[in-house]
Amino acid sequence: MYVIVRSAAIYIYPMQDYSEFEQRLGYTFRDRSLLNIAFTHTTYVFEHGGGHYESNQRLEFIGDAVIDLVVGEKLYNMDPEADEGYLSKMRAISVCEQSFAEVARNLGMGEYLLLGKGEAQSGGNDKDSTLADCFEAVIAAVYFDGGFEAARDCILNNLSGIISKAVNGEIFLDYKSRLLELAQIRGERHVIRFEVLDERGPAHQKEFEVAVFCDDEVLATAVGHSKKDAEQKGARKAIEVYQERYPHVNL
């Protein structure tokens, strides 16, 4: 363990070996204290008497801006004739919580996250929102440690596949509408419905568990921080199941 002193606060980060993560990420840090901050959730900071600025929230702010610029530039160069509306739509699909969470899982970020006890017990290290925020923070850490080009390389190394899928129409923002469309084409007619199975947690950390039904069969379940979020996550999972069950159905 080592101690970082900032203002009047004494905040303790546990030692972590990031070497394996750096290999997956494709970048080696000169200043690994940036990674300590990037992996530190607000609940951990408050539980240990630190200030909000010692969590990864400030890094998220920078990471979000850097990713927007890099992905926007990538899309701009991919299609010289694309208009602003198309570019904005493709960036919104590529730069979203689900995309970042997917990349974070591939990088194994959840195993390094520092969470408060309650957040850890509720599965916080695998929540889309927490993983997405952590990914943004890590990109900001790369930016501060190695500069814009290093951050650009990390972003493109990890998001290029998602950008390509977005451009090719394989990723959607509205998975619920996509599922409803699938259920009404090519001669197949199925009733899709969403049902809230559980609502739990305090008002500021509410979670909803939703099941997605195809007729009377459950296709998927998902948990989200709002009913809409849970429905979108559930619909995304349900699309994969539905297309496996009815492989001739496609849009």
Given this model, what pLDDT does residue 11 score? Answer: 54
> Residue 143 to residues 65, 153, 249: CA-CA distances in angstroms?
11, 10, 43
Mean of pLDDT values over 217-233: 89
Query: 111 near 39, Cβ under 8 Å?
Result: no
With 70 as the cut, is the pLDDT of residue 248 above it?
Answer: no
Using pLDDT thresholds of 50, 70 and 90, give the confidence band for residue 204: low
With 60 as the cut, is the pLDDT of residue 104 above it?
Answer: yes
Using pLDDT thresholds of 50, 70 and 90, give the confidence band for residue 64: very high
CATH of domain 2-167: 1.10.1520.10
Mean of pLDDT values over 39-51: 87
Active-site positions read: 64, 136
Mean of pLDDT values over 26-40: 94
Q: Which residue has the higher pLDDT, 117 or 2?
A: 117
**Beta-strand relationship, 9-13 and 2-6:** antiparallel
Closest CA to 15 of 34, 2, 29: 2
Tell me the percentage of the chain whose pLDDT exceeds 70. Answer: 90
Using pLDDT thresholds of 50, 70 and 90, give the confidence band for residue 226: confident
Tell me which of 3.30.160.20, 3.30.70.20, 3.40.50.1370, 3.40.50.970 is the CATH number of domain 175-245.
Answer: 3.30.160.20
Q: Of 13-22, 86-95, 101-110, 186-195, which gets the smallest average pLDDT?
A: 186-195
User: First and final CA of the chain: distance in angstroms?
Assistant: 54
Given this model, what pLDDT does residue 10 score? Answer: 39
Task: For the chain, give every residue range classified as CATH 1.10.1520.10.
Answer: 2-167
Mean of pLDDT values over 160-172: 86
State the average pLDDT for the chain. 87
